[in-house]
Amino acid sequence: MNAAEELKQKLPAAVVSTGMQVNKPMAVIKKEELLNAARKVKEMGFDHLSVITGTDYKDHFEVVYNFFSYNNKHNLVLKVIADHDKPEVDSLTSLWKGADWLERETYDLVGIKFRGHPNLIRILLPDGWNGHPLRKDYDMNTEQFVTVGENGDDIVSPDGTNLLRRK
Amino acid sequence: METDELIINMGPVHPSTHGVLRFKLRMDGEIIKECTPVLGYLHRGTEKLGEMKTYLQFIPYTDRLDYMSAFPNNYAYVKAVEELAGIEVPLRAEYIRVITMELNRIVNHLVSIGSLLLDLGASTMIMWGFRERENALQLFEKLCGARMTFNYIKPGGVREDIPEGFIPQLNEFLKDMEKRIEDYEQLINSNEIFLMRMKNIGVISAEDAINYGMTGPTLRGSGVDYDLRKYEPYSIYPDLDFKACVRDECDSYARYIVRIEEMKESLHILRQVVDTIPEAKIVSNPKYGVAPMTGTPSAVSTYFPRIFTPPTGEVYSRIEAPKGELGFYIASDGTTKPYRVKIRSPSFCNLTAIPKMVQGLKIPDLIAAFGTIDVVLGDVDR
């Protein structure tokens, strides 16, 4: 029995289905039950949160969590499906501190909100950037003008009104 | 006397931030109360580019993530593609890949240790490190024509076969390097000033290191015996004899020693590989299997199709890069371009722990601790 099926046995209400991500067992989790499932996963010995990936599938978002257990040398993948209109899932920062930046990055580039994150602001792009570049409907032709304000904050505008000289 | 807190911006252009990274430091006198890294100055949208390029076109972009060790980047991406499409790799190609990756590990650690010592005010080590690095870069140049950005490892194999005279030159490098590492240890390991700057500085416990998602030498410096090459083996690593280098002190000194030990292990691996490299084909094709020819360069690079479509699916594949766990998540929708490429870079995740490590220390200690994390900003910002 692999880790995904073990999780299903322990939390039958939370797991929608189980499968494989090539060679890693994967469990699709109900959006509302993510935090519960993650807590259980940590109890099962998966102490390393390797990566969080958000993907835009046009009609829905997928958030994929890759876990690893240093003691048992096992992998486990959790997947959550979020609505396209209002993508929001629970934050795992209370369980893994490493989730902090990974969630901020996912919010920054894909635009998925993490409920309960202590500091959900952009990390790679300047504050105030318009849109989330890894969404499939992001318009690559949008111009963005970035300058640095007096106190070091980023100032972004789509039309260049923040610049001293227009280009 | 009334005192006030002071906000100091360290960076984005500061010699000790190894690129364009800014630390926002909230200071109480000389003590760091809070350290907030500000990133993104080198963000080039590599993940978005991945969605717009074909599978093979994206390989050169991976070179430019962690430009100090580009071979492992190439390999991590290619390994993900191979797992996704189920491509088999000829044994000789795997040997060549391991040679390049281990050489690159030595190069990376030389620069890492050199710049760490330079940050602390000792300039000898970076000169020595670059001297030996030059020999390794000449080997790379001989192999694929480039010194830092290689575009050499391809799905199904490598781009070109080993040129004539490469193995003798590599043997010479190995012989030389062994003595050089002894020199480094004599120069640095028991230097009193160095020890005072490194011991008990930037301490992070094993539990915290795991919780923050640290990997690589930084994790092993905290006493966690974990090396993906050993415990989730890939390529030909299962057949090789080496050990994961672990230290229990959890401080900056431990992380430095781990890097020195890893260079020795890499030499050990290289010596085994050089002796046993098999004579065989170096590239395979998803449709037709291993190439029928031993490669003249042009034949090899045209054998693997420029445009190929892996089956629909998703894969996350990770390797032990010099800086830690480097992973690529690829989602394919069955077209010629990836639907989504996500890069899990070791520098980004290791940097997460810096605020915790330096709280309550002084600014020079931040520089020492940050030097032993060994980040490259191309890898952090992507």
Residue A111 near chain B (CB below 8 Å): no
Cα separations in angstroms, A110 against A79, A99, B9: 16, 16, 29
Buried-state track B224-235, b at ≥16 Cβ within 10 A, e below 16: bebbbbeebebb
- Rounded to the nearest angstrom, the gap between the alpha carbon of residue B264 and the centroid of all alpha carbons in its chain is 16
Confidence at residue B285, expressed as pLDDT on a 0 to 100 scale: 56
Across the strands, what pairs with A20?
A25
A134/B40 Cβ within 8 A: no
- Rounded to the nearest angstrom, the gap between the alpha carbon of residue B58 and the centroid of all alpha carbons in its chain is 18
Please provide residue A80's backbone torsions phi and psi, each rounded to the nearest 5 degrees.
-125, 140
Q: Give the CA angle between residues B281, B331, B43 to the nearest 5°.
A: 95
Find residues 225-264 of chain B whose CB sits inside 8 Å of chain A.
226, 231-232
Structure tokens at B364: 């020079």
Query: How far does A133 lie from chain B, in Å, by closest CA?
Result: 7
Residue A128 near chain B (CB below 8 Å): no
User: Which of A42, A68, A142, A147 to probe the B interface (max B CBs under 10 A)?
Assistant: A68
Dihedral angle sign, alpha carbons of residues B267, B270, B315, A138: positive
Count CB atoms within 10 A of the CB of residue A33: 17
Residue A4 has pLDDT above 80, yes or no: no
pLDDT tens figures, A59-92: 889 899 999 888 888 888 988 988 888 888 888 8
Residues of B in contact with A97 (CB under 8 A): 208, 211-213, 352, 356
Is the model more confident about A154 or about B52? B52
Between A50, A77, A126, which is nearest B318 by CB? A50
Nearest CA in chain A to B83: A22
Confidence at residue B134, expressed as pLDDT on a 0 to 100 scale: 92
Across the strands, what pairs with A135?
none
Confidence at residue B280, expressed as pLDDT on a 0 to 100 scale: 64
Structure tokens at A142: 């949008």
Find residues 20-39 of chain A whose CB sits inside 8 Å of chain B.
21-24
Confidence at residue B107, expressed as pLDDT on a 0 to 100 scale: 92
Confidence at residue A127, expressed as pLDDT on a 0 to 100 scale: 80
Confidence at residue B287, expressed as pLDDT on a 0 to 100 scale: 53
Confidence at residue B89, expressed as pLDDT on a 0 to 100 scale: 77
Confidence at residue B187, expressed as pLDDT on a 0 to 100 scale: 87
Q: Which residues of chain B have pLDDT under 50?
A: 292-300
Query: How far does B256 lie from chain A, in Å, by closest CA?
Result: 23
Distance CA B36, CA B318 (A): 28
Q: What is the ipTM of this complex?
A: 0.85
Across the strands, what pairs with B330?
B315, B341
Residue A122 has pLDDT above 50, yes or no: yes
The continuous run of DSSP H or E covering A62 comes out as strand A60-68
- A-B CB pairs within 8 A amount to 91
Structure tokens at B312: 């629909």
Nearest CA in chain B to A75: B232
Provide mean pLDDT across the span A19-40. 85
Q: Give the CA angle between residues A116, A121, A123 to the nearest 5°.
A: 125
Torsion of CA A138, A144, A150, A151, to 10 degrees: 10
Residue A129 near chain B (CB below 8 Å): no
Residue A31 has pLDDT above 60, yes or no: yes
Residues of A in contact with B47 (CB under 8 A): 109, 134
Q: What is the mean pLDDT of chain A?
A: 84
Confidence at residue B284, expressed as pLDDT on a 0 to 100 scale: 58
Confidence at residue B283, expressed as pLDDT on a 0 to 100 scale: 60
Cα separations in angstroms, B264 against A90, B22, B109, B182, B370: 44, 34, 11, 10, 23
Provide mean pLDDT across the span A21-30. 85
DSSP notation for B269-321: HHHHHHHH---S--BEETTTEE-SSPPPHHHHHHHS-SS--PPSEEEEEEEEE
What count of residues does chain A have? Answer: 167
Predicted model pTM = 0.88
Cα separations in angstroms, B7 against B27, B39, B61, B114, B186: 6, 17, 37, 30, 40
